[in-house]
Amino acid sequence: MSVATATTSRSPAAPAAGGRGRHGGRKDRGAQWGGIGFVSPAAIIVALLLYAPFLYTVVLSFTEYDGLNSPQWIGVDNFTRFFDDPALITSVRNTLMWVVGTTVVPVGLGLLVALLSFGVRGGTWLRLPFMLPYALSGAGLGVIWGFILQSGGAANDVLGALGLPGAHTSFLLEEPWNTLSMIVAWTWQQTGVNALLFLVGLQSIPKEPLEAARMDGATGWRLFRHVTWPLLAPLTTVVVGLSLVASLKTFDIVWVMTQGGPGRNSETLAVTMYRDAFVAGEYGYGSAVAMVLTLTTGAITLAYLRRQVRAREELS
């Protein structure tokens, strides 16, 4: 859930409520046993439905399993098989396109919308068109844009009318246009929420540095580049981080618009995983793809956060 991830990167390390040291001289023994009772239902359901499946996927990724015969341990064969699997290589490439595309375009446009509408009279109304698509589901988004991007459809009409190339491109059928045009659809949806986040950031910027800079004669681009942008940096980290994690797991929109096709050439890792496991019935190999997805997400997020932290340390 992207919302929850937002909070992880945002909140400071949670203070250890009820951590050690506070327990000295405890009198309320009933409360202690009651505590276990209160925390157990949540802990059990999370352990059973989130932790256990996670661990089992790790185990399955080292096996060959068709769902009928019992899993056969094959070591790292699933992982070495990747290098010979053209579908997986395409999928990794597409996923990287998603990562780059969605961390740059919707974030940039979101920032632009936030800056343009911040402090402007009627800003809430002017922002509304960008907010509307956010509440749409990935499936709803796929339905709308699948219609717009169909061959001879609205996208072709617009490009033709403007005299631009692409009037006869079948966007969803040609590589790499299918992935790129789905990124456009995603941008349409995500810009609003990024704008909202940046707006929250702009509102929390202290007034003094801005005033001071204005007194010194900084305006427009210079004011933004040297004052606003550095002050927004912590929030930019969050917004980019959120986009990063979400883009690596892209599934719904691709599934609804192209089902990863034609010929598997618009698959992302999440789609590849679904297809290998639930269409081809290769649960071991599917688990290995899920592992790669998870490890990639973890590695990229970690690398990104470390870079950000280091950059901020250098500043201070």
- Residue 140 binds other proteins (CB under 8 A): yes
Q: Shortest distance, CB of residue 314 to other proteins, whole angstroms?
A: 25
The region of 84-92, 93-101, 211-219, 276-284 touching other proteins under the rule CB under 8 A is 276-284
Select the residue interacting with other proteins from 87, 111, 196, 244 (CB under 8 A): 196
The one among 137, 214, 303, 312 contacting other proteins by CB under 8 A: 137
110 residue type, one letter:
G
How buried is residue 90: exposed, middle or buried, by Cβ count under 10 Å (0-12/13-18/19+)?
buried
Cis peptide leading into 133, omega within 30 of 0? no
Nearer to other proteins, 2 or 314 (CB): 2
Region from 80-88, 137-145, 210-218, 225-233 binding other proteins, contact rule CB under 8 A:
137-145
Using CB under 8 A as the binding rule, whether residue 105 contacts other proteins is answered as no
Instruction: Report yes or no: 297 and 112 within 8 Å, Cβ to Cβ.
Output: no
Per CB under 8 A, 191 contacts other proteins: yes
User: Of 97, 90, 252, 96, whose CA–CA distance to 180 is shortest?
Assistant: 97
- Single-letter code of the amino acid located at 175: E
Q: Which is nearer to other proteins, 152 or 314 (CB)?
A: 152
Residues 55-84, mask of contacts with other proteins (x by CB under 8 A): -xx--x------x-----------------
What is the DSSP track for 186-253? Answer: HHHHHHHHHHHHHHHHHHHS-HHHHHHHHHTT--HHHHIIIIIHHHHHHHHHHHHHHHHHHHHT--HH
Per DSSP, which regions of 7-127 are E strands?
Answer: 63-64, 72-73
Nearer to other proteins, 227 or 256 (CB): 256
Stretch that binds other proteins, among 83-91, 207-215, 285-293, 308-316 (CB under 8 A): 285-293
